[in-house]
Amino acid sequence: MAKPLESEEKASKKKGLRLQTDPFIFFVSGGFIVAFVALTLAFGERARNVYSVVSGWLLDNLGWMYIGGYSLMFVFLIAIFVSKYGNLRLGDDDEKPAYSVPVWFAMLFAAGLGATLMFWGAAEPLHHSFNPPRGDFLPMSQEAIDQAFEFTYYHFAAHMWVPFVLPGLALGYFIYKRKMPARLSSTFSPLLGGKVYEWPGKLIDALSIIGTVFGLAVSVGLGVLQINAGLNIMWDVPLISGVELAIIIGITVAASISVASGLDRGIKILSNINIGAAIVLMVFVLLMGPTLTLLRHTVEAFGNYGASLPEMMFWTDSFAENPGWQGTWTVFYWAWTICWSPFVGMFIARISRGR
Identify the pLDDT of residue 317: 83
Q: What is the pLDDT of residues 26-67, one digit of tens each?
A: 999 999 999 999 999 999 889 999 988 998 888 888 889 999
What is the Cα–Cα distance from 326 to 322, expressed in whole angstroms?
9
Q: Which helix (H) or strand (E) holds 317?
A: none
Instruction: Say how many C-beta atoms besides its own lie within 10 A of residue 339's C-beta.
Output: 20
Residue 4 has pLDDT above 60, yes or no: no
What is the Cα–Cα distance from 35 to 224, expressed in whole angstroms?
24
Q: What is the pLDDT of residues 17-37, one digit of tens each?
A: 565 678 999 999 999 999 999
Q: Is the dihedral of CA 79, 82, 85, 91 positive or negative?
A: positive
Q: What is the pLDDT of residues 299-332, one digit of tens each?
A: 999 999 999 999 999 998 887 766 678 888 999 8
Residue 88 carries which DSSP code? -
Instruction: Say how many C-beta atoms besides its own lie within 10 A of residue 47's C-beta.
Output: 14
CA 334 centroid distance within chain: 9
Three-state DSSP state, 247: helix
Three-state DSSP state, 273: helix
Q: Where are the alpha helices (DSSP H) in 83-140?
A: 101-112, 115-130
Three-state DSSP state, 50: helix
The mean pLDDT of the chain is: 86
Identify the pLDDT of residue 190: 93
Residue 11 has pLDDT above 50, yes or no: no
The answer to which of 94-98, 135-139, 230-234, 267-271 has the lowest mean pLDDT is: 267-271
